[in-house]
Amino acid sequence: MLTRIKDLATKLAPRLIEIRRHIHSHPELSGEEYQTAAFVAGVLSANGVHVQEGIGKTGVVGEVQGTNSDSRLLAIRTDMDALPIQERTNLEYASRKAGIMHACGHDVHTTVGLGTAMILSQIADELPGNVRFLFQPAEETAVGASWMIQDRVMEEVTSVLSLHVFPSIEAGSVGIRYGALTAAADDLEIIIVGESGHGARPHEAIDAIWIAAQVITTLQQAISRTQNPLRPLVLSIGQINGGRAPNIIADQVKLRGTVRSLHPETRTNLPAWITQIVSNICDCYGARYQVNYRPGTPGVQNDLALSQLLQTAAEEAWGSDRVLVLPEPSLGAEDFSLYLEHAPGAMFRLGVGYKDRAVNHPLHHPQFDVDESAIVTGVVTLAYSAYKYWQ
């Protein structure tokens, strides 16, 4: 079966590159993937895959029907949205839309999803169960997965697989990660309320800027002194607003930031931990405060058995020297985690770096580029993993 899948993928390669270039040159922002979705639905239908459009607003669901001798249902999720970035690659198939670019490789993900669906539909009589393809919108804004799930795409799904391109891994190789793959990403807002006064007479006021400075410093120091150093935690205040004039003591400061953590236990304790620090500092100087901790996407926890499935399939397909078991997770965020609240799953990293280039630009860079040979690597890895899922 591996040889058959590889042959099918090799034959499809020129078409898949065409598909990828089409999607790349017509990028659409999160939640606006109308043309991409219509294009995806067209390719799926043309290949005999049962399609539903308008799922999760601008998402598409395709289903390849197996022989039904096994009730397990495998889902394969790919994302379709682009970013508000002006492309600077000079490629002939560069974005034709000003200020919008597929700089996170979701054009490759969509293509790999389509290629996998095309191959599995050709070997459907060898699949005991069904494979559901989830073409998700709005991953970059972290809302697309929940739109899809609200439209019940996870009903009956027993496992879910996905991928993300990775420029620092060479094309032709894949990265497998067991356990934590990405971090939980939460939003933090702290409002500190003091009392205004003359800059020359600070003792008659409550200086919200000075207190905010202490809150920021203490939070960073407290990570080092009160959080388990073996459980990563990053707290970045990226926005600070307050004050009216140089000679008026500010009565209010608003801080906004992002909090990234890997361990569910660390995350559970964060709102109380932050509030305690803010509260103690504010109490010292008579300020009032408000802490708004908004949970965002949880971290992706790869299922061990499914990571093993991906690793075995990839090793059989490409040899063990082209399969890297990644020692570290990333503190980035990925809304694939929301599907994992409904079924176990695993995401692998697809190497897209050019072997002979000194610099492979990172994700979200205006010159981000991929070695397109990785598309076949991704398609074979996923299609063969799907086949092996029931073996």
Shortest distance, CB of residue 387 to Ni ion, whole angstroms? 26
Token pair of 9, please? 């993928």
Q: Which of residues 278-307 bind Ni ion (CB under 5 A)?
A: none
Shortest distance, CB of residue 217 to Ni ion, whole angstroms? 33
Which CB atom, from 145 or from 277, has the smaller least distance to Ni ion? 145
Which CB atom, from 134 or from 277, has the smaller least distance to Ni ion? 134
State whether residue 169 is helix, strand or coil. strand
| Helix (H), strand (E) at residue 317 | helix 304-318
| Helix (H), strand (E) at residue 225 | helix 208-226
| Site size with Ni ion, rule: CB under 5 A | 1
Please say whether the beta carbons of 294 and 186 come within 8 A. Answer: yes
Shortest distance, CB of residue 334 to Ni ion, whole angstroms? 7
d(CA 287, CA 40): 55
Residues in contact with 325: Cβ distance below 8 Å, sequence separation at least 6, in sequence order: 175, 176, 177, 178, 311
Shortest distance, CB of residue 53 to Ni ion, whole angstroms? 23
* Closest listed residue to residue 375, CA positions, set 189, 158, 114: 114
Q: Which of residues 222-261 bind Ni ion (CB under 5 A)?
A: none
DSSP letter assigned to residue 31 = T
Which CB atom, from 164 or from 267, has the smaller least distance to Ni ion? 164
Separate counts of helices (H) and strands (E) for the chain: 8, 16
Which CB atom, from 9 or from 163, has the smaller least distance to Ni ion? 163
Shortest distance, CB of residue 112 to Ni ion, whole angstroms? 13
Q: Does 145 bind Ni ion (CB under 5 A)?
A: no
* Closest listed residue to residue 27, CA positions, set 78, 77, 79, 83: 83
d(CA 162, CA 344): 12
Q: Which of residues 75-114 bind Ni ion (CB under 5 A)?
A: 104
Shortest distance, CB of residue 103 to Ni ion, whole angstroms? 9
Which CB atom, from 165 or from 191, has the smaller least distance to Ni ion? 165
Residue with the CB atom nearest Ni ion in the bound state: 104
Which CB atom, from 289 or from 336, has the smaller least distance to Ni ion? 336
Contacts to Ni ion by CB under 5 A? 104
